Amino acid sequence: MIAALLRAGSSGCAVAFAILLGCGALFASPAAADFRLCNNTGSRVGVAIGYKDGDVWTTEGWWNLSSRSCETLLRGELVARFYYIYAIDYDRGGEWSGQANMCMRDKEFTIRGTGDCLVRGFDRAGFFEVDTTEQQSWTVQLTESTEQTPQRSPASAAPPNTTPPAGRQGPVIIGNPPR
């Protein structure tokens, strides 16, 4: 369920981050065919997602996740290989972003199409790519770089095409285990 975005003051240091993709090391749950996101940080985060809906790219937000919690963003078997995520840290500032520009806004939204964001009255943000390798379910885990991150699995997906800002640790990608 999408909750309205409640923007907290975000001055201070940007959160250092690593992005882990795969079934959860910290949050075990029964197998389900969904797209889930886990917030493994000590902060509250807001999350938006981009996905292909028929022939049109759609962006949707905001899910507000408390510290150390998970949320299902899309229910059911995944129908695409690539999804896109943008997340912000409400408590300490900073963001998890990438190079795929998509439309969004500060309030709850569902936006069809990724072109002419500003002309249509929306903001534009860089979302990071999630390659699900065509798995039926996928979990994205947001963590801080100060936390221990596992080595990249040999069977994992390729890293997203993102260049982390200076001073931040890049993403570590771990694919879901085959079923």
Q: Which residues contact 161 (CB under 8 A, 6 or more apart)?
A: 98, 99, 129
Q: Which residues contact 112 (CB under 8 A, 6 or more apart)?
A: 53, 56, 57, 58
**Structural domain of residue 61, as residue ranges?**
18-143
More confident residue, 44 or 164: 44
Q: Are 72 and 95 in contact (CB under 8 A)?
A: no
- Inside any domain, residue 74: yes
- Inside any domain, residue 106: yes
Domain total for the chain? 1
Q: Which residues contact 53 (CB under 8 A, 6 or more apart)?
A: 112
- Inside any domain, residue 121: yes
- Inside any domain, residue 78: yes
- Percent of all residues in the chain with a pLDDT value above 70, rounded to a whole number: 63
The answer, yes or no, to whether residue 126 has pLDDT greater than 60, is yes
- Inside any domain, residue 148: no
Coil vs helix vs strand at 32: coil
- Supply 141's token pair: 């885990």
Q: Is the pTM of this model over 0.85?
A: no
The torsion of the CA quartet 101, 123, 37, 146, rounded to 10 degrees, works out to: 80
d(C-alpha 41, C-alpha 145), whole Å = 10
For the ranges 32-41, 63-72, 139-148, the maximum mean pLDDT occurs at: 63-72
- Inside any domain, residue 158: no
Beta bridge pairs of residue 39: 69, 142
- Inside any domain, residue 159: no
pLDDT in tens, 33-48: 899 999 999 999 999 9
Q: Which of 30-34, 93-97, 104-108, 174-178 has the lowest mean pLDDT?
A: 174-178
- Inside any domain, residue 154: no
d(C-alpha 99, C-alpha 120), whole Å = 20
Strands 138-143 and 34-39, sheet pairing:
parallel
Span 36-64, mean pLDDT? 96
Q: Are 69 and 106 in contact (CB under 8 A)?
A: no
